[in-house]
Amino acid sequence: MFDLEVLLVAVGSVLGVGLLLGAGIPLIYALGVRSRESGRPGSNAVSAALMLVCVLLALGGIVVIVFGDAIFGG
């Protein structure tokens, strides 16, 4: 009943995706905030692009996680 391999894969996946999205999205968002606050020319556009990346990553994460099996045939 106890399957260590399955458990380790699950833990690894949770940690990997957690770091990628859970720490990655806040980092990109923070870069966007810093860019906007810097007041340099074009910084607003860079900031908007980074915020958009955050939104797309969050939506992409939901789509892959919720509909991943249907899309990739998992």
Partner 1 sequence: MELAILVIVVIVALAFDFTNGFHDTANAMAPSVATGALKPKPAVALSASLNLVGAFLSIEVARTVGSGIVDLTGVDGEQLMLIVLCGLTGAIVWNVLTWLFGLPSSSSHALFGGLIGATIAALGLSGVLWGGVSQKILIPALFAPVIAGFVAFIGTWLVHRVTRNISERAEKRSFRWGQIGAASLMSLAHGTNDAQKTMGVIFLALVAHGTIDPDADMPLWVRVTCALAIAAGTYMGGWRVIRTLGKGIVDISPRQGMSADFSSASIILTSSHLGLPLSTTHVASGSVIGSGLARDDVKVRWSVARRMLIAWIITLPAAGAVGAACLLLTNLFDHFWGAVVVTTILVVACTAMWLRSRLDPVGHHNVADDWEAPKGEHKRTIDRELSAVASHIAPISRPRKRKKKRGKNGRKRGK
Binding residues for partner 1, rule: CB under 8 A, are: 1-3, 6-7, 10-11, 13-15, 17-23, 25-27, 29-31, 33-34, 36-37, 54-55, 58, 61-62, 65-66, 68
Question: Of 33 and 41, which has the nearer Cβ to partner 1?
Answer: 33
In the complex, the smallest distance separating the C-beta of residue 25 from partner 1, rounded to whole angstroms, is: 5
In the complex, the smallest distance separating the C-beta of residue 19 from partner 1, rounded to whole angstroms, is: 6
Say if residues 54 and 28 touch (Cβ distance below 8 Å): yes
1 to each of 14, 19, 43, how far by Cα in Å?
21, 29, 55
The angle, 0 to 180 degrees and rounded to 10, between the axes of the packed helices 43-72 and 24-38 is 160
